[in-house]
């Protein structure tokens, strides 16, 4: 029995968006990172909550999910962001780089077609701040067809909250029990 994937976004989930005053939550610590393709004298400032690493590890250690980065940070999620949260090397979905000016070029999240093909018929819980109604419909349709799919959508200005991971744990535990029955 395959555990469901836990697809993890970063921007708006682990790195909250600044509010109107340019502030980020006091829970988050500043780091400067150098993404692939940038020079060392041109780092990017990110804000991360160290508690997120611990909370994610609590979920990962249950063994009930297969965690995978699903973010435009791509491999940098594994090499740059994960280590700052003391996470082990997690695999990442190698998303395409479409020339788009909106994250919803067809009315739904630009990642979704690629994720849909990548998942095939695997169950998944997907945390991203940027789903539209069409993405939620997609998740319901997948579930109705027998592929359990849960979307969790944090407020991008607040990012991931402990209750989101409680929801993940509860959902995967129920799924595990239902399949074992």
Q: Could you tell me the smallest distance in angstroms from the CB atom of residue 55 to Mg ion?
A: 18
Q: Which stretch binds Mg ion (CB under 5 A): 32-40, 85-93, 116-124, 127-135?
A: 127-135
> Among residues 108 and 175, whose Cβ is nearest to Mg ion?
108
Binding test (CB under 5 A) with Mg ion, winner from 73, 115, 129, 159: 129
| CB-based burial label for 66 (10 Å; 0-12, 13-18, 19+) | middle
Minimum Å gap between C-beta 46 and Mg ion is 13
Residues 125/166, Cβ–Cβ less than 8 Å: no
Q: How far is the CB of 13 from Mg ion (least distance, A)?
A: 6
The 49-88 contact track toward Mg ion, x by CB under 5 A, reads ----------------------------------------
Task: Evaluate whether 127 touches 67 at the Cβ level (below 8 Å).
Answer: no
Give the integer Cα–Cα distance in Å for 141 and 136.
9
Which one among 4, 12, 67, 82 touches Mg ion, defined by CB under 5 A? 12
Least Cα distance to 14 among 27, 5, 23 occurs for 27
φ/ψ of 98, rounded to 5, equals: -70, 150
First to last CA, the chain: 12
**Residue with CB nearest Mg ion?**
12
Binding site for Mg ion (CB under 5 A): 9, 11-12, 129-130
């Amino acid at each position: 029995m395959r555990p469901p994937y836990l697809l993890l976004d970063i921007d708006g989930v682990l790195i909250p968006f600044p509010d109107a005053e340019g502030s980020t939550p006091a829970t988050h610590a500043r780091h400067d990172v150098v993404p692939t393709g940038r020079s060392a004298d041109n780092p990017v400032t990110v804000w991360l909550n160290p508690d997120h690493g611990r909370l994610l590890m609590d979920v990962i250690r249950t063994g009930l999910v297969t965690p995978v980065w699903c973010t435009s940070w791509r491999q940098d999620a594994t090499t740059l962001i994960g280590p700052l949260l003391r996470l082990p090397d997690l695999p990442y979905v190698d998303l395409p780089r479409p020339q788009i000016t909106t994250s919803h070029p067809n009315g739904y999240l630009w990642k979704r077609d690629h994720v849909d093909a990548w998942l095939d018929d695997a169950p998944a819980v997907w945390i991203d701040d940027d789903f539209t109604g069409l993405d939620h419909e997609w998740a319901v349709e997948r579930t109705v067809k027998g592929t359990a799919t849960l979307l969790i959508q944090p407020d991008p200005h607040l990012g991931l909250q402990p209750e989101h991971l409680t929801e993940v744990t509860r959902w995967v535990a129920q799924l595990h029990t239902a399949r074992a029955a």
